[in-house]
């Protein structure tokens, strides 16, 4: 039985790697910003507003998951990737009008964000079933995802530098390749699903009272992470593109550097959390998030882009520490409670992300770039306070 479960973890590792490649090359990665820019010529305010249809499905994904979870975590993961395949292959051969594109973006986001809590839940349940170190296993899954992101970022770099990929034509090779990797991920998940039928109890879940007091710190941190990731994934990248006039090749190599370093970073943090506590990683995350937010505000004046690049890489490292929230949650809830609470955390995350994306875009257009990052920094002070004083582990 132990051998089967080890094989299951390896299958899931390959599935996550393939899916992450699909996301990185498609609408979930660095290519997306240049798709918006080349195909639709949008400005900063519209770029912020695009986060609304991208984030709303993250809020609503809990309803899809609560329906699908009757069939188990792995079946739900398969459905989430089928959604992504449909969107990737459609956009590969068609550049729809802007408003229709937003609909596809929302549909893709529903699949992508439904998978996020399932990824952590399946990993933690497999780890518990094998009596293995949860931090180490979850960091290995993160490392696989980051390695895929590094590869996709390099594709952005070389594709933009040598004009291999373009978004101004109806046929878009990047989205076709994205769909192929999503499909490969589905194949691995189907294999895992067939294997899991022999040990169904591992992936069972149940209805719970989500707003128990013990879950409140987790939900607060999840919500504030929604603000943190907007700094890295949206406003920092948009600042580098618009203020420092950098193109896809520059962003591709920068993201590749950050994510490659993050592979070793998360593996080290995973071992650290096993030896100490997830709380340590959460406190580190708060300190990093505060620092980069205020540094971005200072550097937004147009200071040497090398310093912005350094801060961006540090920002990437901080964002990766989000997996410590899942480790903390596993310490305070049972395996049958895990997936619904993780899914609810995604809802909190994207509710806040949606609000700050819209408000941040408006502040950017009305008052400039620096106030956006200052506001994010203040929110992360709250997150650090919760990590220090609000977390009580069993």
- Any idea what the CATH number is for the domain that residue 101 is in? 1.20.1250.20
With bands split at pLDDT 50, 70 and 90, how would you rate the model's confidence at 283? very high
The span from the CA of 260 to the CA of 270, in Å, is 16
The string of pLDDT tens digits covering residues 53-79 is: 877 888 888 888 888 877 888 999 999
Q: CA 300 to CA 295: how far, in whole Å?
A: 8
Cβ neighbours around 302 below 10 Å, total: 11
Q: Give the count of alpha carbons within 13 A of 253, CB side only.
A: 10
Q: How many domains does the chain have?
A: 1
Listed residue (115, 59, 92) closest to 180, CA to CA = 92
Q: What are phi and psi of 307, to 5 degrees?
A: -65, -35
Measured CA to CA, the distance from residue 133 to residue 330 in angstroms comes to 12
Nearest to 230 by CA among 323, 353, 321: 353
pTM of the model: 0.84
Asked whether residue 315 carries a pLDDT value surpassing 50, the answer given is yes
List, for residues 107-159, the tens digit of each pLDDT value. Answer: 998 999 899 999 999 999 888 776 777 899 999 999 999 998 888 877 777 77
State the residue range of the domain holding 209. 2-390
- Answer yes or no: are the C-beta atoms of 238 and 47 closer than 8 Å: yes
From the number of C-beta atoms within 10 Å of its C-beta (0-12, 13-18, 19+), residue 362 rates as: middle
For residue range 152-194, what is the model confidence (pLDDT) as tens digits?
A: 877 777 776 776 666 666 778 888 888 999 999 999 999 998 8
What is the token pair recorded at 264? 């070793």
Chain-wide mean pLDDT for the chain? 84
Give pLDDT, residue 4: 46
């Amino acid at each position: 039985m132990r051998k089967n479960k080890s094989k299951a973890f390896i299958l899931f590792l390959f599935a996550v790697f393939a899916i992450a490649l699909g996301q990185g090359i498609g609408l979930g990665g660095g290519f997306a910003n240049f798709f918006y820019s080349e195909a639709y010529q949008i400005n900063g305010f519209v770029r912020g507003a695009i986060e609304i249809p991208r984030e709303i499905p993250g809020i609503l994904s809990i309803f899809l998951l609560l329906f699908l979870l009757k069939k188990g975590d792995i079946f739900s993961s398969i459905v989430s990737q089928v959604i992504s395949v449909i969107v990737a292959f459609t956009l590969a051969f068609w550049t729809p009008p802007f408003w229709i594109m937003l609909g596809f973006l929302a549909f893709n986001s529903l699949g992508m964000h439904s998978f996020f809590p399932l990824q952590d839940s399946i990993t933690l349940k497999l780890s518990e079933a094998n009596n293995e170190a949860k931090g180490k296993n979850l960091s290995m899954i993160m490392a696989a995802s980051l390695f895929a992101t590094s590869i996709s970022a390099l594709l952005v770099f070389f594709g933009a530098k040598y004009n291999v990929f373009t978004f101004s034509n109806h046929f878009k090779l990047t989205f076709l390749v994205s769909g192929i990797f999503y499909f490969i991920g589905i194949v691995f998940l189907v294999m895992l699903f067939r294997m899991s039928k022999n040990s169904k109890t591992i992936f069972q879940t149940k209805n719970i009272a989500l707003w128990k007091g013990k879950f409140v710190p987790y939900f607060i941190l999840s919500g504030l992470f929604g603000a943190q990731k907007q700094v890295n994934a949206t406003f920092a990248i948009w600042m580098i593109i618009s203020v420092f006039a950098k193109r896809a090749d520059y962003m591709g190599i920068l993201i590749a550097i950050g994510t490659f370093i993050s592979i070793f970073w998360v593996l080290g943090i995973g071992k650290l959390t096993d030896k100490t506590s997830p709380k340590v990683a959460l406190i580190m995350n708060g300190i990093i998030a505060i620092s980069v937010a205020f540094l971005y505000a200072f550097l937004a004046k147009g200071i040497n882009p090398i310093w912005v690049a350094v801060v961006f890489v540090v920002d990437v490292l901080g964002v990766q520490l989000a997996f410590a929230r899942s480790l903390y949650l596993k310490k305070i809830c049972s395996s049958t409670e895990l997936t619904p609470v993780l899914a609810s955390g995604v809802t909190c995350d994207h509710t806040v992300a949606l609000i700050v994306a819209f408000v941040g875009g408006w502040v950017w257009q009305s008052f400039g770039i620096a106030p956006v990052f200052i506001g994010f920094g203040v929110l992360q002070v709250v997150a650090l306070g919760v990590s220090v004083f609000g977390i009580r582990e069993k």
